[in-house]
Amino acid sequence: MFTGKISSQLVAAGSVDTIRRYAAAAEQLGQLHPQQLKLIFEQNWFNLFVPRSMGGLELQLPEAVRLQEALALADGSVGWTVTLCSGANWFIGFLDKQAASSFFSDKQVCLAGSGAASGKAAVAENGYLINGHWKYATGAPYATAFTANCVIEKNGAPVLKEDGSPLTGSFIFKKEEVTLHNDWNTTGMKATASQAFSVEALAVPGERCFIIDREYALLPDPVFYFPFLSFAEVTLTANYSGMAFHFTDLCKALFEDRIKRHGYNITEACEMLETLARSKSRLEDARQVFYEVLEKTWANGCGEKQWSASSVNSLGEACRSLVKLSRRAVDELYPYCGMAASDQNSEINRVWRDFHTASLHGIFTFGCG
């Protein structure tokens, strides 16, 4: 079943079938299945935000977010991988022209990386000397390049900004320059292959350093001027929503089967079905508000490539509301699922594990309780 509220026109039924057919095998592999990857590359989903002139789809933000949600509804690991890797490919808007041309010449370009500034970049002649170790690089096994944040150092000491905080910069590395660490061992989202990577005494030219900020955008598309934190919030919110709706879809079939097989009385059966209906209704209402605010925010700012603090704050509130209700829906429904939902080979258990693993992302640690 593909929830009607999430447009199936964004992802064809045949594509959903392919994604789901190989989801269990992908979990066993610990990375996306080759058939899932083949579909992603055929559809060019890693390049949602890349300009058409540079081989991408050049989607507007609301359109891309709806697609990400639809993919997360099909499978959490696929949706998350496309979201994180297309988000990293979004950095093309801030890359030096020569670096962008070099790294995006590969038709199957896929950037993976980490937002933590857990590296050090020492200023050197014509560039930087970098050491660092970064966790949680979604899509690491098939990444063609890696991005990472570093604290900038000069003469052995951090370079400080005017406010006294350390200056950080983002860097892009070739895949052959990094060492992967097969340390992704989590309860769920196993197929995202979010492994760690490191570099040691790596010399990189200055043009491979970039700053993710609207003031440093080098391409004209409005999406590159949208606040980065809000960009991350809306794209991850879509994933939580998609996975939550997937879970409720599975609950519907499971509840109906349990009621039939176990012969629950009217009161018990009504409690199960009413809880499901109430949870889905709350989710749908919050989702509608989320997209209304997103569409309005985007439309009001994309012309001038400028978004007001109030509109960004309203969008953040809509994100947190949808995330909160997604968590509530999954947790309220799970106890009614019976032992079938604890079987790690079942689809509903995988969706439950994927959702709860994804929900640990730090961007929504606070404000969604």
pLDDT band of residue 9 (cuts 50, 70, 90) is low
Among 86, 83, 89, which residue's Cα sits nearest to residue 104?
A: 89
Task: Return the structure tokens found at 239.
Answer: 């994933």
- Check residue 10 and give its pLDDT: 83
Q: Collect all residues with Cβ–Cβ distance below 8 Å to 153 and sequence separation of at least 6.
A: 120, 121, 122, 123, 159
Among 23, 21, 141, 29, which residue's Cα sits nearest to residue 77?
A: 23
| Four-way CATH pick for 111-213: 2.40.110.10, 2.70.160.11, 3.40.50.300, 3.30.565.10 | 2.40.110.10
Tens of pLDDT, residue by residue over 318-354, are 999 999 999 999 999 999 999 989 999 999 999 999 9
Handedness of CA 19, 193, 228, 360 (dihedral sign): positive
Handedness of CA 309, 313, 314, 319 (dihedral sign): positive
The residue ranges of every structural domain in the chain are 13-94, 111-213, 226-364
Report d(CA 87, CA 133) in Å as an integer: 20
* Cα-to-chain-centroid distance, residue 79: 7
DSSP classification of residue 6 = S
Average confidence (pLDDT) over 210-236:
97
Report d(CA 110, CA 203) in Å as an integer: 22
The Cα-based distances of 342 to 157, 244, 345, 348 in angstroms read 51, 17, 9, 8
Report d(CA 159, CA 120) in Å as an integer: 11
Is residue 1 over pLDDT 60?
no
Task: Give, for 318, the enclosing helix (H) or strand (E).
Answer: helix 309-333
Task: Return the structure tokens found at 84.
Answer: 């994180």
Average confidence (pLDDT) over 302-309:
96
Calculate the average pLDDT of the chain: 95
pLDDT band of residue 7 (cuts 50, 70, 90) is low
CATH number of 13-94: 1.10.540.10
Q: Collect all residues with Cβ–Cβ distance below 8 Å to 319 and sequence separation of at least 6.
A: 233, 234, 237, 290, 364
CATH number of 226-364: 1.20.140.10
Task: Return the structure tokens found at 237.
Answer: 């919110």
- 3-state SS assignment for residue 148: strand
pTM for the predicted model, two decimal places = 0.96
Single-letter code of the amino acid located at 117:
A
What are the residue ranges of helices labelled H in 96-227? 97-103
Do 13-94 and 111-213 come out as alike in CATH topology? no
